[in-house]
Structure 1
Amino acid sequence: MRRVVLGGWVLVLCCGCAGAGGGEGRAPGAPTGVTAEAGSATSVHVMWNAVSADPAVRAYEVYRDAVKVAEVPGSTRMADVSRLAPSTTYVFSVRARDAEGRLGPAGREVRATTPAAVAADRSAPARPGGLVGRTVGSRAVQLSWTASTDDRGVVSYEVHQGGTKIHSVGGNQTATVVTGLRPGMRYSFTVRARDAAGNLSPAGPPVVLTTAPGDDEGRDTAPTGFRATTRLADGAYHLDLSWTAPRVDGVVTEYEIELDGKPATSLVWGGTPPRGTAAHSLYLGREAGVGHRVRLRARLPDGTWGAYSAERTVTTGENRDTGS
């Protein structure tokens, strides 16, 4: 296995490998997909993708500048950092620690600015309404709700599973996808709104959903709009791929490309993942008339692999994309 940096992607070239993972005796890798968003005038909600490591990640540490401000169990991918100053920009990073006590490097730094304080605001936002949801296979659900109202403005929405907060989104967002669920399980979700003063609304009516039994990898967690074409350049054929990232409750930074039934390349986005359509090219060789099958899947923010995209069939020398 070797890594090559190309156009923002960190390519992990595989020879029969099944994906990136930790190695024995090595510290965990840097968390990817780190985001930070103000939850109120004095708090910021930080999220990140799960790190795959062997031994497993025991804890995540959240840093504000160079100061550790939170530590959460390895099963958690979020933390709320409080006691901040209003109208202030902060820099956050996250590090993983494994069961052996090894501390990995920090993921990329992200910034968040708290809104201005609102004097003497003791009025909580109205409860969000119209919460609806649908299951996305056996491991995910999609939720949407009606915007809350507040005399000073809603800063964020909190998603709760039972009595536990599991996610937070900005005040201008009224939908999300929650991943990392278990097959055949019944879940109850509610949403609450928070304003700049930190006032939290009552929960809206719950929505109860049951994930599909078994393990179908969550079909709707697959990349969409997947296309594959071949082209000739400098006497050799190349496979051009394009796709749209699946909608999940976090940032997708890693993909695995399967060529002719075998893992060929893992792509790890080294910076900010592209919005909308992503693209990548593979070298196929110099021989015309050779058929290939290709598909890809995303590593979800909870550390699991999503479903594969539709498989495409191409032939070198024929610039066409055939769905199978």
Structure 2
Amino acid sequence: MAACGALLLTASCAWTGDGGGGGTEGRLPGAPAGVTAAAGSATSVHVMWNRAPDGTGIAVYEVYRGAVKVREVPGSEHMVDVVGLTPATAYVFTVRARNSEGRSGPRSGRVRATTPAASATDAAPPTRPGSARGEPVGSRSVRLSWGASTDDRGVVSYDIHQGSSKIHSVGGDRTATVVTGLRPGTRYSFSVRARDAADNVSPAGDTVRLTTAPGTDDARATAPTGFRAEARRADGAYYLDLSWIPLRADGVITEYEIHLDGRPATSLQWGGAVPRERASYSFYAGRDAGVAYRVRIRARLPDGTWGGFSAERTAVTKP
């Protein structure tokens, strides 16, 4: 079994396995991971975080602007729009979880967002998003894309609606997202609206109707892609160097689980800037030459469930 070591500066390493455990009674909730904040308009910021894994007993998430608690949302949700803000102003947000016993855990890391300047004379909404498309990604996710809107002052964000309810928001420079946390074998309707700094909202784009795959699946469509694993010798020991392309989801993926020879070996969690294009990680594999390790990796999705496993690679510690 490999041991933790040679971590990236932004990652922390923790062992997984059978020992320890027990219930969650008397334990404080952990700090929410994957917190992001992005301006939705000149007077609003969209704050998101990763849902806690199933079974941790989170009753409420508390959202703070600086030292002030501004919103509470049920534990089943992982995003909120903070409104009534001042244009052209920088804000700092944190989130913390409160369990069913009323005990609050530590706050998340701080995230910053700056609202754009507003124009009192801007009454024209952005154009309607076009070319909306989508496809199921297994039984619990869908991938959506749309054509860019235009606006005389610039598109600040896109609102994603499920039926009549807004479920997500992305920056105005994005025209695609993956929505997770859906139910298997269920039909959904999605649409997209563009928003500018003055909070003018476009008409809804085309409605995209999709049905998730029935039952359970291996979540292959939510697996990291481009996975590579190589053994490296340094200072008389061997290390496994891993790299992969993260899934682009409706949140930030911060946690991964690494399997060696079909069993959980170690997990890692980013505490700083999360790689978006290609992630890499290295850990200690011992001093024995001629050992072949079968390696694969999977991510914890923003909805708290595990995604699919990457392709399995073999790394050999050569003399």
Note if contact 1:4-1:10 (Cα within 8 Å) is conserved in structure 2.
Answer: no
Q: 1:43 corresponds to which residue?
A: 44
Map residues 105-124 of structure 1 onto 2, 5 A cutoff: 105-124=106-125
In structure 2, the CA distance between the partners of 1:231 and 1:114, relative to structure 1 (3 Å rule), is: same
Q: 2:176 corresponds to which residue? A: 175
- Between 138-147 and 44-53, report the one with greater CA deviation: 44-53
Equivalent residue for 2:195?
194
What CA distance in whole angstroms lies between the structure 2 residues aligned with 1:282 and 1:50? Answer: 27
Calculate the TM-score normalised by the size of structure 1: 0.92
SS at match of 1:71: strand
2:243 and 2:158 mapped to 1: Cα distance? 33
Return the alpha-carbon distance in structure 2 between the equivalents of residues 299 and 73 of structure 1: 21
User: What's the counterpart of residue 135 of structure 1?
Assistant: 136
Q: Which amino acid aligns with 1:11?
A: C
Cα distance in structure 2, aligned partners of 1:97 and 1:65: 18
Deviation of the 1:314 alpha carbon: 2.3
Structure 1 109/63 Cα, relative in aligned 2: closer, same or farther at 3 Å? same
- For 1:97 and 1:258, locate their aligned partners in 2 and report how far apart those are by CA, in whole Å: 32
* TM-score of the superposed pair, with normalisation by structure 2: 0.93
Alpha carbons 1:3, 1:13 under 8 Å: kept: no
Give the aligned partner of residue 11 of structure 1: 13
Change (3 A) 1:230 1:3: closer
Unmatched 5+ stretches in structure 2: none
1:219 Cα deviation from its structure 2 partner: 1.6
- Give the Cα separation in 1 of the matches to 2:277 and 2:102: 38
Write out per-residue CA displacement over residues 213-271 of structure 1, whole angstroms, 9 at most, x where no aligned residue.
Answer: 12224322111111111122222222111111112111110000011111111101111
Contact 1:2–1:14 at 8 Å: present in 2 too? no
The 10-residue stretch of structure 1 (209-218 or 139-148) with the greater mean CA deviation from structure 2: 209-218
Q: Give deviations 1:135-188, integer Å, cap 9, x for gaps.
A: 111111111111112222211100000111111011111111111111111110
Which residue identity does 1:80 align to in structure 2? Answer: D
Closer, same or farther in 2 for the Cα pair 1:131/1:109, shift >3 Å? same
2:82 matched to 1:81? yes
Structure 1 match to 2:186: 185
Gaps of 5+ in 1: 319-324
Aligned length: 317
Counterpart-to-counterpart distance in 1, 2:270 and 2:243: 15
Q: Which amino acid in 2 is paired with 1:110? A: V
- Which deviates further from its counterpart, 58-67 or 225-234? 225-234
Kindly tell me: are residues 92 and 22 of structure 1, through their superposed partners in 2, closer, same or farther at Cα, counting changes over 3 Å?
farther
How do residues 267-306 of structure 1 correspond to structure 2 at under 5 angstroms?
267-306=268-307
The secondary structure found in structure 2 opposite 1:220 is helix
Q: Give SS of 1:72's match.
A: strand
User: Judging changes above 3 Å, is the alpha-carbon distance between structure 1 residues 213 and 17 closer, same or farther for their aligned structure 2 residues?
Assistant: farther
SS in 2 for 1:209: strand
Aligned AA (1:101): G
Partner of 1:30: 31
Q: Could you tell me the percent identity over the aligned residues?
A: 65
Deviates further, 153-162 or 22-31: 22-31
CA distance in 2, matches of 1:2, 1:280: 11
Give the AA of the match of 2:153: R
Query: Structure 2 matches for 1:256-275, cutoff 5 A?
Result: 256-275=257-276
- 1:22 deviates by 7.9
**Counterpart amino acid of 2:15?**
L
Query: In structure 2, do the counterparts of structure 1 residues 231 and 5 end up closer, same or farther at CA, with 3 Å as the change threshold?
Result: closer
Letter in 1 for 2:140: R
